[in-house]
Homo-oligomer: A and B are copies of this chain.
Amino acid sequence: MSKQPQYTIKDIATEMGVSVSTVSRALSDHPHISEETKGRVRELAEKYDYRHNALAASLRNSRSNTIGLILPRLSQYFPSTVATAIQNKLHEYGYNLMICQSNDSPALEKELVNVLYASRVEGLIVSSTLYTSDFSHFDIFAKSKIPLVFYDRFPKNYEAHKVQGDDYTGGYQNTLHLLQQGCRRIAHISGPLTCNIYEDRYNGYLDALKKYEVPLNEGIVFFHELTRENALKTCEVIFSGSSLPDAIFACNDTTAIAVLEYARKHHIRIPQDVMLTGYSNDPRSEITEPAVTSVEQFPYEVGDQAATLMMNLLRHKIKQEDNYVSITTPVELIRRASSGTAETKVVPDDKAVSPGRQIKAVS
């Protein structure tokens, strides 16, 4: 672009012999401009292929019409679906989205926050990195009263609006299901507890055990980043022990699938020898043999809610001064062969967003 001269409303104005204000108003369909003038302006704009300069307008209005999105990475099922949902919803409202990946690096996250602020985004949606502990780089948004919405992963001790899947219930139902299937030695492979989602799932796990009066066996609970490699190592530990678990609850599907891989190689039968459940209902989980029981998180719903909340904040339907909004989206256990069940979808009681944690009573 740079040196390429632009055709501006000023050019239209001089060509027509009117002022720039008139042209500007004509283009935005202002009621005080005569239909005739509007017609001629549109004609000329068409003729010379005039293009609105959003940059100039943004500067003048202090409104960029752009929302920022920062997430750890895009190239996985859950995050990319959330991003899709957010983008689609924002587009409905005439907003653009600027997506940035932090690659799970807190330093990069911080840089991106500043870049997006410099671009004067009107709002920021964030799923923070696994390792962000200092959230002060977000302060500038609060200070400038720019809406800030977190989803999925977010700070535990930082006041902000939040949208989250119901991880507690997900962990609870997942564990309960295994208990109902008769399992009593349920291993748990979790991410680091510093991250809210893993903490919640773990608490669900603990409470389900409690309900069945099964004591916690700390020897079969693991916390580490949930990659395939780590999962395989953990399998070594689990299956070299003296007393084997009768089930494994993995906190993501990558891990569950790695367990499946390990089991196949070592002739451990799933679900006959060990039952298995995952989390997230990644598309991969339903095509393995056996298919993996998992927890659907409705990523599209999460994204939709986050974007809607952002729009409400921008339109002052929710006052910033009010308390911070916390939306919990429902989850749903998808039972599959890996936990010894035929696939059955449980229709949730309530399709709507639950206002908080709702633990379904189990009969």
Interface on A for B, CB 8 Å cutoff? Answer: 1-4, 6, 49, 51-56, 58-59, 61-64, 66, 73-77, 80-81, 83-84, 87-88, 96-101, 103, 114-115, 117-120, 122, 140, 143-146, 257, 260-261, 283-284, 287-289
Contact = CB atoms under 8 A, between A and B. Distances in A.
8 contacts: A6-B62, A56-B59, A66-B119, A73-B84, A87-B101, A96-B98, A283-B284, A289-B289
Nearest to A83: B74
Contacts of A122: 1
A119 B119 CA distance: 11
B84 A74 contact: yes
Q: Is the interface of A mostly helix, strand, loop or mixed?
A: mixed
A148 to B, nearest CB: 12
Instruction: Say how many copies of this protein the assembly contains.
Output: 2
A145 B55 contact: no
A344 B2 CA distance: 50
Contacts of A75: 77, 80-81, 83-84
A101 B4 CA distance: 28
Given A98-B98, A283-B284, 15 more contacts: A1-B63, A1-B122, A2-B62, A49-B140, A49-B143, A51-B114, A55-B58, A66-B119, A73-B84, A74-B80, A74-B83, A74-B87, A75-B80, A96-B115, A261-B287
Given A75-B77, A80-B80, A119 B88 contact: no
Given A2-B63, A62-B2, A75-B84, A257 B287 contact: yes
Contacts of A66: 119
Given A73-B84, A80-B80, A287-B257, A55 B51 contact: no
Name the 6 nearest CB pairs between A and B, nearest first: A289-B289, A54-B118, A80-B80, A75-B80, A75-B81, A99-B99
B117 A51 contact: yes
Given A74-B74, A101-B87, A4 B64 contact: no
A289 B263 CA distance: 14
A1 B84 contact: no
A88 B103 contact: yes
Nearest to A114: B51
A74 B300 CA distance: 12
Contacts of A97: 98-100
Contacts of A76: 80
A126 to B, nearest CB: 16
Contact of A120 (B54, B61, B145, B260): B54
Among A52, A75, A80, A103, which residue has the most Cβ atoms of chain B within 10 A? A75
Nearest to A81: B75
A174 to B, nearest CB: 21
B55 A64 contact: yes
A189 to B, nearest CB: 18
Contacts of A6: 62
A227 to B, nearest CB: 13
Contacts of A62: 1-3, 6
B51 A140 contact: yes
Contacts of A288: 287-289
Given A1-B145, A59-B56, A74-B74, A101 B120 contact: no
